[in-house]
């Protein structure tokens, strides 16, 4: 290693971040070195410091525009944990005496479906544009977004799919599927919704990108359909 | 570009994979070219072919030992979707006329807690080793693993934390937190569990890596504790 490189190493800012009650560190991404070579020295030296300080779980979030750093972190013992559009999270468990206790990421989606009944005793149903079974009508609904409540996610999805504004009243039932998309689970909440007096006459206005048909069906007809 | 390089480009195997009802493709990771340079040509040419075939959503899973390919895929328009320890998933929405309709990844953990009561009307409680509040006893339990049912996840967690084998009987109540770890949500199911006749006298045997204390507490004492 040349003297210039040694000096570069010495000048590298050690990574620091937020500590937690588990003796872990969540690295501050703003401190990541500007080049891959400097980052490698920085991470190597930071690991030495964290081991000396008896740190256990290290959380390293690589921003989406620095993903060239991922193989370097992996070479130094980091493991993929989860990713969102704007980052990839890697972790490194440093405690050699105890097993890895780092929590896993989310393993389930939450789906919601709205049971809206009007004064004529008709239920609001949709047929999906992309469906495995044709001519199959189901409750409008969909997946909750990150950070969304069951109530507001339900009202948003029903409005997006049907154009009808209805209010959450309560959860009627739920199902849990252990294996859904990408091996993750899914919880589906079937919810009762109601229409205010002034909302009974709303026009159906569905999103053709997602929905093939939307209609009110009498409860009797729905109960007798397969 | 030299003739040799041209020939290399021509020789690249186009990426293919499993189609879906949404006109999407889930790329077969076994077909990824061996080098970064070849992969770039392969992905460029595959994108041309997918666009000609009017494919919409492309799912590209990069194995954990090929993460140097991630920046190349991003350069060609792919976006981070999710990651597990063994891969990073990226997606590319090719339809220019319709908005991106690719589903999101899991956005919630599922936690389970077991309410085990013995014949002496005592409830099984634990104190976590790493806790924000000291001397706080709670129901044993934890997060479901991928692919795990509520019933078996509950019985596993209660056994791991206490050494007691008890059986799932039913869900008593649940809570939903919209913002939990990493911004994802959490559903927590409080569940009733029972002990068979021959399981009443089991010894408590907790995991000191995770649990500071475990004990049976009278229902009256528990009801009166804060």
- Identify whether residues B88 and B112 lie together within a single domain: no
pLDDT band at B226 (very low <50, low <70, confident <90, very high): low
Cβ B21–A109 below 8 Å, yes or no?
Answer: no
Give me the pLDDT at residue B12, please: 83
Beta strands in chain B (DSSP E): 17-19, 25-27, 57-63, 79-84, 87-93, 108-116, 122-128, 141-143, 167-177, 185-194, 211-218
Q: For residue A17, give the CATH number of its domain.
A: 3.40.630.30
Q: Is any Cβ of chain B less than 8 angstroms from the Cβ of A84?
A: yes
Q: Nearest by CB to B178, which of A22, A68, A148?
A: A148
pLDDT at A4 over 90: no
Q: Nearest by CB to A149, which of B22, B101, B178?
A: B178
Tokens linked to B65: 């030992």
CA dihedral B94, B99, B100, B106 (to 10 degrees): -170
- Identify whether residues A135 and A191 lie together within a single domain: yes
- Identify whether residues B128 and B30 lie together within a single domain: no
- Identify whether residues A129 and A32 lie together within a single domain: no
**Number of domains observed in the structure of chain B:** 2
Q: For residue A152, give the CATH number of its domain.
A: 3.90.79.10
Tokens linked to B217: 């507490």
Q: Nearest by CB to A67, which of B70, B147, B182?
A: B70
- Identify whether residues A82 and A155 lie together within a single domain: no
Q: Is any Cβ of chain B less than 8 angstroms from the Cβ of A176?
A: yes
CB contact set of A133 (below 8 Å; sequence gap of 6+) = none
How far apart CA A116 and CA B85 sit, in angstroms, is 41
- Identify whether residues A123 and A46 lie together within a single domain: no
pLDDT at A8 over 80: no
End residue of a domain, out of A60, A93, A126? A93
Residue B98 resides in a domain: no
Q: What is the mean pLDDT of chain A?
A: 93
Collect all residues of chain A within an 8 Å Cβ-Cβ radius of residue B22.
Answer: 130
Q: Is any Cβ of chain A less than 8 angstroms from the Cβ of B87?
A: yes
How far apart CA B68 and CA B222 sit, in angstroms, is 54
pLDDT band at A10 (very low <50, low <70, confident <90, very high): low
Burial of B192-214, coded b for 16+ CB within 10 Å and e otherwise, reads bbebeeeeeebeeebbeebbeeb
pLDDT at B132 over 80: yes
CB atoms within 10 A of CB B90: 26
Among the listed residues B149, B73, B146, the one whose alpha carbon sits nearest the alpha carbon of residue B108: B146
How far apart CA A78 and CA A70 sit, in angstroms, is 9
Q: Is any Cβ of chain B less than 8 angstroms from the Cβ of A129?
A: no
- Least confident range from A176-180, B5-9, B177-181: namely B5-9
- Picking from A178, A179, A188, A208 by the largest number of B CB atoms within 10 A of its own CB, the best residue to mutate is A178
Q: Nearest by CB to B107, which of A81, A106, A132?
A: A106
Question: What average pLDDT does range B5-19 have in this prediction?
Answer: 75
How far apart CA B216 and CA B204 sit, in angstroms, is 9
- Identify whether residues B122 and B208 lie together within a single domain: yes
CB contact set of A15 (below 8 Å; sequence gap of 6+) = A27, A28, A31, A32, A42, A43, A46
Question: What average pLDDT does range B213-222 have in this prediction?
Answer: 95
Give me the pLDDT at residue B200, please: 86
- Identify whether residues B70 and B124 lie together within a single domain: no
For every residue of B113-126, DSSP letters joined together read EEEEB-TTSEEEEE
Cβ A185–B146 below 8 Å, yes or no?
Answer: yes
Residue B116 resides in a domain: yes
- Identify whether residues A44 and A7 lie together within a single domain: yes
Among the listed residues B59, B61, B82, the one whose alpha carbon sits nearest the alpha carbon of residue B182: B82
Cβ A146–B185 below 8 Å, yes or no?
Answer: yes
Q: Nearest by CB to A107, which of B71, B79, B106?
A: B106
pLDDT cut 90: percent of chain B above it: 86
- Picking from B23, B61, B108 by the largest number of A CB atoms within 10 A of its own CB, the best residue to mutate is B108
Cβ A144–B185 below 8 Å, yes or no?
Answer: yes
In terms of residue numbers, what domain contains B185? 108-224
End residue of a domain, out of A68, A93, A118? A93
Q: Is any Cβ of chain B less than 8 angstroms from the Cβ of A130?
A: yes
For every residue of A73-142, DSSP letters joined together read HHHTT-EEEEEETTEEEEEEE--SSS---PPPP--EEEEEEEEEB-TTSEEEEEEESS-SSTT--B--EE
Q: In what order do the strands lie in the sheet with B87-93?
A: B17-19, B25-27, B57-63, B87-93, B79-84
End residue of a domain, out of B68, B93, B118? B93
pLDDT at A215 over 50: yes
Collect all residues of chain A within an 8 Å Cβ-Cβ radius of residue B89.
Answer: 83, 182
Q: Is any Cβ of chain B less than 8 angstroms from the Cβ of A210?
A: yes
Give me the pLDDT at residue B135, please: 86
CA distances from B48 to A110, A123, A149, B53, B54 (A): 36, 45, 41, 9, 10
- Identify whether residues A15 and A121 lie together within a single domain: no
Cβ A132–B21 below 8 Å, yes or no?
Answer: yes
Counting every residue, how long is chain A? 226
Cβ A84–B87 below 8 Å, yes or no?
Answer: no
Q: Is any Cβ of chain A less than 8 angstroms from the Cβ of B14?
A: no
Q: Phi and psi for B57 in degrees, rounded to 5? A: -95, 125
Collect all residues of chain A within an 8 Å Cβ-Cβ radius of residue B108.
Answer: 106-110, 144, 187
How far apart CA A206 and CA B93 sit, in angstroms, is 22
Q: What is the ipTM of this complex?
A: 0.90
pLDDT digits (tens, 9 = 90+) for A175-199: 999 999 999 999 999 999 999 888 8
- Identify whether residues A123 and A210 lie together within a single domain: yes
Cβ B89–A83 below 8 Å, yes or no?
Answer: yes
Q: Is any Cβ of chain B less than 8 angstroms from the Cβ of A72?
A: no
Q: What is the mean pLDDT of chain B?
A: 93
Collect all residues of chain B within an 8 Å Cβ-Cβ radius of residue A145.
Answer: 104, 107
Cβ A184–B146 below 8 Å, yes or no?
Answer: yes
pLDDT digits (tens, 9 = 90+) for A102-152: 999 999 999 999 999 999 999 999 999 998 888 899 999 999 999 999 999
């Amino acid at each position: 290693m040349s003297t210039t490189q040694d000096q570069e190493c010495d000048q590298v800012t050690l990574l620091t971040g937020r500590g937690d009650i588990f003796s872990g560190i969540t690295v501050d991404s703003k401190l990541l070195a500007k080049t891959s070579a400097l980052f490698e020295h920085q991470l190597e030296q930071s690991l030495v410091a964290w081991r000396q300080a008896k740190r256990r779980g290290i959380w390293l979030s690589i921003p989406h525009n620095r993903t060239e750093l991922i193989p370097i972190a992996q070479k130094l013992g980091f493991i993929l944990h989860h990713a969102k559009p704007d980052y990839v999270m890697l972790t490194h468990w440093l405690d050699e005496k105890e097993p890895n206790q780092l929590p896993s990421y989310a393993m389930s989606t939450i789906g919601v479906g709205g049971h809206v009944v009007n004064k004529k005793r008709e239920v609001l149903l949709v047929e999906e544009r992309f469906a495995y079974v044709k001519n199959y009508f189901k409750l409008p609904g969909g997946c909750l977004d990150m950070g969304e409540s069951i109530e507001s996610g339900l009202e948003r999805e029903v409005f997006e799919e049907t154009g009808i504004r209805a209010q959450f009243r309560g959860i009627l039932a739920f199902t849990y599927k252990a294996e859904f998309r990408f091996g993750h689970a899914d919880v589906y909440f079937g919810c009762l919704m109601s229409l205010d007096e002034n909302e009974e006459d709303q026009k159906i206005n569905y999103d053709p990108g997602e929905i093939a048909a939307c209609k009110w069906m009498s409860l009797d007809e729905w109960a007798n359909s397969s």
